Structure formats: structure tokens, C-alpha cells
Chain A
Amino acid sequence: MAELAPPRPPKGADQFTTACDYCVVGCAYRVWRWPVKAGGAPDDTVPWANPAQHNLISWRGEAHHVLVLPDPEAHAVNPGGNHSMRGGTLAQKCHNPTNRTRERLGTPLLRVAGQLVPVSWDAAIEIMARVSQHVLKHHGEHAWGIKAYSYQYFENTYAITKLAFDAVGTPAFAPHDKCANTNDAAGLDDAGLEAFAPSYEDWGACEVLFCSGTDPFETKSTLFTQWIMHGARPDKTLIFATPHRTMGVAWGERAGGLWLPVLPGTDTLLHNAIARIIVERGWQDQAFIDRWIAQRWEVDQGLGRGTRNTPWQWRTTWGTFQSDWADYRAFVLGRDEHRLADAARLTGVPAEKMLRAAQLLAAPRADGSRPKASFMLEKGNYWSNNYLNSASFAALGLICGAGNRAGQVIGRGGGHQRGMVSAPGHPGWLSPEKYSGRRKKPLNLDRWLIDGKLRFAWVFGTTWIGAMAASKELERAIARHTVDQREQVGDTDPAAAAAALIARIEAGGLMLVDSDIYPVAPLNTRYADLVLPAATWGEADFTRCNGERRLRLYQAFADAPGEAKPDWWAVQAFARRMGWGERFAWTSASAVFEEAARHSRGGAYDYHELVQEARRQGTTGHALLARMGSDGIQTPVRRAHGRLFGTPRLHDPDNALADANAWRNKLIQAFNTHSGKAVLLKSPWNFPGWSEFYEAAKPRPEKNELWITNGRVNENWQSGFDDLRKPYTAARGLPQMLFMNPEDAAARGIASGDRVRVVNDTVYVLTGMPVGVESTDQHFKALLAAGHIKVTQGDFEAVAILDPGMRQGVAKAGFNHPAGPANAVCHAVPDPLTNNYRYKLGRGRVERLGVSEFVEDLQGVSLKARGLI
């Protein structure tokens, strides 16, 4: 009889707790490891496993089996064994030389005469240090930059930011998802709402949930299937604002919920029109507003969110956005575009659906009680109209009484887990960019590179090119400053290599270093001068928080391939060679974690008390966290009565704890503003910093264009770096998909499975460094007139999937697919309020190229719609 199931671990197999490497939900996992040579009776207490949950790995050079399963002992996140298709295949991400994970980087590689050749770590560090010393001496710290993930574990992000902000002191730093070191959903922040304040129990306990710009079924899967479908209120009503009716939306609709098929970027009007209905009818939660909404003097006296000369101070104190209840009420009621008919025309959402949404969210019941409504936003919201969408969503939630109590919360659903502890230094004040007037604006690293200002760049774990807007233009700039330069490395001798790179830099070029776990096309396969191999999940001990601030230890259980090292180790080696060894003197991963703790204080991921407790107990921070298993502890970590306590929900006045250190972290019991009250923000649709760009970015009917938005799909996490190498997902082919409304497709002669090309012949890219005196100087029309907007071209290819759940006029591609960078048709002109891109506002004409191989391939990927129910 054929054996189809993987082997079972023997009794006594090694066990490790960890959490998933992928999405923000951060499910709890347990690893069983046993030598291939081991015998013994199978342990019948281990849950059943399928082949995707098994692998063979190397541990200390010996072949071992591993099973990676949802932790049967978990009490949090995913108790009961639930998992997504990402976590369900964690075992198969482990390095195994007999499958495509053999492509893992195992040694530093130097590009010599165009080819990547192995070099030692010592040689790699020597070249980097020589070039860096030259750049810092002759071009200054602004010319030395880092582009890094913000999520891949506290140890690494702390080391990387310590290098950038403290040791080098450069403002040229941008996280993986942004062109500048900004905050994501700035409207939430300005309202005083921490984006990850809610707990998963809150998402489960609400009676109505408004999901804006996301279907958590796709890539926050277990949050959806465990907490939203179930939780304390499985009968909850779901409202989705998104142009694509994916499975979660379809399920929600079937259960009496609503799909609001909003046109990209217009969510602000949708929120304000719903708010207008609520205010007109007196459905707002007046008691909450009276207690928790900052009055005018509280906003003014506190200078909005703080007294410093910051972007948020500027936004929250200068009239256009700042408000109090009376002013907000007048704003919502007074503007024509908030009236149902106008809002319906502009947003594409039928008036009766907006009316129904307002009823569900706020209409008091016969007994006078209010529905418990919660508000979740994600990238469809804030990466389309960054400030106005997030600010208007926060305001809508607040007037419905959400923000600080069980089942009534406002927050992000999340993308990645929360893995950033930023080192101090804050060289943002060195940024040459300013908002109009004199307020510092974070440096736009893409523009800095395109303009030729960057001479040395170290990239950590991001595709950079495909992840950023106007990807093709960014790629052309990277090529121009690296491989297209005359000066190239001719041999592996570190002194000679460094000399060649310095000569290139003096000719206006750039040295590009990329740390990653795989070859990443085209960033390190085609352009990087030096490629450094990183150790990843399961190969070194790491820590981070998930989307409810749950801190866990992600334990090592396998050998890293070759000489791959955790990124903090590479940073330390480089810093030592630069002469900064005393500041990078860690002897273990836990030492990094422990040092970083003091810089987490006061924030949402504050674990200082955990490290203090470890010291009291004479153990390490990692060791104490390991004892907490896959349940971990929710930050901020507090200590009272000699015990550690987690914090399930932020901003909650009922979080009272006899806690001597409560003063240190205001977030725990109050909103994150000077007054501790939330700020209602106005979001005028005709604010020219938005409206001028929106008019320019819209699809052009004369060119037969559609909105080309993008979003995550379950089977392709990020750039597919693992999925394209895991047997089940890889065998399906996983092409870049373009979901199209059947009528839009028919009008272009496109059938399901056709290969298509999406072309935007007018992709706007911000160049130069616009200086603003008047606030309008940094709005689109003035930038265009002043020559700061370059017109470029972008395109990508995809396989069309006809989906009646795709609203007409909008097509959606997968996010950051390596075979078809959908960001190529998006404009790289940041929101002038926040310096964030508006990635979801691509446009283009869709051209049929022919029938793809997937039509006839009955063993390949499914071409069916996502929301068939």
C-alpha cells in the first residue's frame, strides 16, 4: 500500500515553538525535529500532518525530519490548528538542496566583469568598508543610504537602524514599502489612534465590521477564518469597501453584509457621505464624543500631536484638517459632495448601499442600544489616497464610538508582522526635503537615487524595484548608476574592487549591496555589486510582534545554508570594520534584543519590562520569551505584583493596573495625543494636494484606460520568494493575474486565460527637490509647471482572469509579482501631506497578446473567479 502521509515523529523528538514567518496574523506553530536515523515508536499525540507540513533539513550537518504544524498547545491567535496556505507550507520554506530552495544564497557574491562570483565575508566587508569610508568622507552621510524591510525581526531592524541612524547618521533611509521613512496610515496617527491597538478578540467581538481597502480572507486569512467568521460574535455583519468581491466579501454579503464597490481613491467621500447620514440623523455616539474627542482648545493647546516642528504638528494645527466635534459636524453636513447623490456619482457606490452602511454602523436599536462597530483599514484605503482616506476613516469610526473598548476598535488589518524597533539617532532633521515653509519632510530615497545623489546603498530583504511605484523608471535609474557605468569591478581582490567602485562613484555612480535569502530579479541578479546571504526564519533565533502586538520567540531549528548569517551579524561585522565596534559589541541575538528593549519604551511594542524581568531572574530576554511559547505576551509588557502582564487592547481606560510604570506609556490608557483624547480630522475632497493629482492620475477615456489597482492574493506572499519554490504553489504556475470585469474584458476582446499587457504611457515621477514657500507649491499642478514631474512609461504582463466580482472600470493585479510588476503603471508622486506613494492608483490600457498556456493546461492554475459561493 502506498504511503502518502509524511512520517510521524518518534516520542522524544525535539520540539520548538515559533510563529509563522509570513503575514501579520502571526499564527502559533510548533516544530518537531528528529534525526532521519532515529528509530522509536511514533508519538501518537502529534497531530496528523500532510506532505506540505514535512521536510528534510540539515541540523548540525545531520539530516533530520521536521514537521511544522499549528501549535496544538496554542491558546492564542489560532487555537485548534487553523492555518493559512502560507503557514500550512512553512516546513517547505526550509532549505533543502533537492528542491528549488537549493537556490538559497550561501556565500557572499561579488559582481566581477558582470558575473557574480563567490568571495569571503571578510573580503565583502572589506570592500564595503573601503567604499563607505570614501563616500562618507567625500560625499557625506546623505550619500550613504539603506533600503530595508521594517518587519523581519527586532534583532535585524534594530541593528540596521542603529547603523543608519546612530553610526552613519544618514537621513537616506526608507523601509520596504515606502519611498521615505514616514508613517503608513498617517490619518490614523494624527487622530491619536495606534494602528495596531486592537486585539484579535476585538475583531471577533464586534457586531458590525467595516473593512476598508482589504478582504482579510486574502492574506490575513486566519484573522478572517478564526476571528471574523467566528470570535465572540460569529453573527456579525460585514461591510467591505473594495473594488473586488473576493471570497470574504462574498461570504459577508451572503450573511447579510454589504459590498461597497468603491472606485480607487474615493473612499474619503464614501466615509464622509456615510458620516453625513449618521450626523444628519443624530446617530453619532454623543456620549463617547463628549468624553473622548478633543475640543478645539485641547488641540490648539497641545499643538495637535506634539510641540515639535513635525509633519503631524503641521497637519493637525493648521486649520485645513484639524477640527473638533462642532467643526467636524459643520464640515460633514456642509459640503455638497457629501450628499448621497453626489457621493454616489463620484465613488461609484449606490446611494442605497451607503444609507444601509450608515444604518448598520450607527442606527440605535429599539431599546436604545448601539451596534458595536469596528473599523479595519488596509492598503486599498491608505495606499490610494493616503492622508484623506485614513483621516476620514478614523473620523467615521470615532463618531460611531469606536477606538478604545472591547469590540469597538479602529485599526489596521496589517500586511507584515510588526518587527521594527528603531534605534535612536533620528537624523530625519538632516533631510534636505521640506514641506512648504520650514517643516522637515523625510527624504524620498527613490527620488534621491534617481537624481544621482546616492553613492552607496545597502538593501536588506526587499525587491525595491518591483515594490516601489514607477518601477520601470526606478530600474532604469539603478541600471544607469551601476551596470551602465564605465567603471566595473575586474577582480576579486578587495583593494582593487573597492578602487574600481570608488572610481565609479567619482564618476557619479553608485555601489549597490543587497542582503537577501534568494537571488532577486532584477535587483541582485542584474544590478547589485555585492550580494550577501542572509539566514532567515528557523535558522536563527528572532523575535517580533504580530498584528495584535503579540511578542514571540521564533526559534532556530535548522542550519542556515552555507555561510548565510542573520542580517544583524552582517551589520555588526561591517560596523566593526568601520571602527564602530564598541557600539556593536553584541555577543548573541538576545543581546541585540535586550539592547533594543529600551528603545521600544513608550511605543506599542514596548517589551522593556520583559527584559528587566529576565535580568532579575538571571536569564536572557530570549530565554524568558521562549518559556512563554507560541502564546508569547502582548506588548506593551507591564509588571505589577511581581508578575508580567500583556496588554490586549491599547487606548482603553479600563487597562488600569497597579503599575508603577504606567506613566511611561500613554498609549495603554489614552489616545496618542497631547490631551489623551482623539482628534477628529476633516478631509476635504477638493484639497488641491489630492484633487490635482487625482485628476491627472485618472484613467483617460480617450486612451481606453482602466484603473489598474493591485492587491495581495493568498497563494503569493510578497514577491513569491518562497511560494514560487514550494512544490504545490510552484506547480500551479502562479502567473501574475489581472482580474477583469467580463464587460471590460469583452470590450477589449479579452477572454479568461489570455495573456495581456498593461501599458501606462504617462507615468508621473517626481524629480529634483521641489522647495515650497506657499503650500500649493508642492501640489501637482505647481510641480508640473516647475518641471519637477517627469513623464515616463511603464508596463507589465499578466494572465487575464474574468471575474464578475471585479467592479467595472477597475482591473486588479497581484501585488509585487516578480513576473509582472504592477507598480510599473503607478505614479511615483507622493502624497504631499505624508510623502507616501499612492500605489493603488495605477492606470493603463489592457492589450491582448494571445492565449496563455494556462487555458489548455488542466493540471495548472485555476482561472476561476475568487468569490464563487
Chain B
Amino acid sequence: MADEPACLARREFLLTGGKLVLLASVAGLPTPLLAQRAEFGAQRLSRLDELTLGKGLWFDYPRPGLANVLVKLGVPAGGGIGPERDIVAFSARCTHLGGDLGGSLQAAQQVLGPCPRHLTTFDLTRHGVVITGHATQSLPQVVLDLRGSELFAVGMMGLVFGAGATYG
């Protein structure tokens, strides 16, 4: 994850634009919005060699009920880890209105979606950016860590639809 900081900096810009500057400049605001990366406890997901190209591994994180998918795409991806930098994980809850993306992985196209509710698609090679549709936020990306040959989820980048400060 050597290039992650630069990536995250851009990622924050993607998600917040000038808002951090704005809020910092307004007196009396109780809680400034902070970075879009939230760290949670590490959760083991898989051994590297257990992953099959294009086959999604579904898991809840950071709490039960918040589904995500881990997938080896076969092409390098933003935030991807592993030897090919092609392993990524994303929230499976559509950022438009919370639709369940659980059945909509198009791994060969590196796409999650279309959401069964309103057909938004997300590009898994580009930090979950919207390809087409109605969402106004990228798909939250799970921060991954490779510890030896074990993959762990360690945090989230972006806001899961309906989630509050603690994803509670």
C-alpha cells in the first residue's frame, strides 16, 4: 500500500471537495467533518491463494448487516492490493438509495451493478466511481491490508448509505 496516501488524498477530494476548507472557516460548527477514511478493527477475509479470479467473496464489515464484496479483478485497480494490485473490496449497498448490490457483480467488466432498484453502475477499478446512474457518491471502498498471505479489512473510505458517524 505504498502509494495509498496520495491515492487517499485524491479520494478525500473526490468525496468532499472544498467542504473541509469551508467548515474549518465557519465559527460555531460543533463537529468538523474529517477525513473520509474511517478505521475499524481488522477483520480477516481470506488467504490470498484462496481467492478465485472474478469470484466475489461476500462479507459484512464493519458491522453485521453492512455487506461488502471482495474480488480479484485481474486488472490493476485504484486501491487494489496483492501482487497484481487487482484485489479490491467495496460496500454492496448502493449509495443512491441503499439498494442491495449483492447479486450484481459483473467481475469480467469490473463493475458492481446495475443496482436492481434504479440501475446505477459502479467502476471497481476506479474507487467505485459511478459509471452511469443516479448516485452522488462513489461506492465506499473497504481499506484492505495484506498481512503475509492473509487479507484483512481494516477500514472504510466513504459513506455507506444510511450509516451514521459510527456506521451504527
Contact = CB atoms under 8 A, between A and B. Distances in A.
Interface of A: 1-7, 36-37, 48, 50-53, 56, 63, 81-85, 88-89, 92, 96, 98-100, 217-218, 221, 225, 229, 246-248, 251, 713-715, 726-728, 730-732, 858-862, 864, 866, 868-869
Given A251-B114, A728-B14, A715 B109 contact: no
A727 B17 contact: yes
Given A2-B36, A859-B11, A862-B131, A868 B21 contact: no
A731 B17 contact: yes
Contacts of A217: 119, 132
Interface residues of B, number: 65
Nearest to A96: B22
B136 A859 contact: no
Contact of B111 (A3, A4, A83, A864): A864
Nearest to B25: A98
Given A728-B138, A858-B127, 9 more contacts: A5-B159, A56-B26, A85-B136, A88-B134, A221-B118, A247-B119, A727-B16, A858-B7, A861-B129
Contacts, number: 169
Contact of B78 (A4, A7, A859): A859
B37 to A, nearest CB: 7
Nearest to A862: B123
B137 A52 contact: yes
Nearest to B121: A868
Given A3-B165, A99-B18, A36 B38 contact: no
B18 A715 contact: no
Interface in B112-162: 113-114, 117-119, 121, 123, 125-127, 129-138, 158-159, 161-162
Contacts of A89: 136
The DSSP consensus for interface residues of chain B is loop
Nearest to A715: B130
A51 B38 CA distance: 16
Given A715-B130, A859-B11, A4 B165 contact: yes
A862 B130 CA distance: 7
Contacts of B165: 1-5
B134 A51 contact: no
B95 interface: yes
B135 A36 contact: no
B136 to A, nearest CB: 4
Contacts of B133: 85, 221, 247, 714
The DSSP consensus for interface residues of chain A is loop
Contact of B134 (A85, A99, A866, A868): A85
A726 B16 CA distance: 10
A859 B126 contact: yes
Nearest to B123: A862
Contacts of A56: 22-23, 26
A858 B125 contact: yes
Contacts of A6: 33
B157 to A, nearest CB: 10
A247 B111 CA distance: 13
B42 interface: no
9 contacts: A1-B38, A5-B163, A50-B159, A82-B97, A247-B114, A715-B130, A727-B19, A732-B129, A864-B110
Contact of B131 (A5, A50, A866): A866
Contacts of B29: 7, 36
Contacts of A3: 31-34, 165
A37 B29 CA distance: 7
A217 B118 CA distance: 9
3 shortest interchain CB distances as A-B pairs: A727-B17, A858-B78, A99-B18
Nearest to B11: A859
B15 interface: yes
Contacts of A88: 96, 134-136
A869 B114 contact: yes
B77 interface: yes
B38 A4 contact: yes
A50 B10 CA distance: 19
A56 B21 CA distance: 12
B18 A859 contact: no
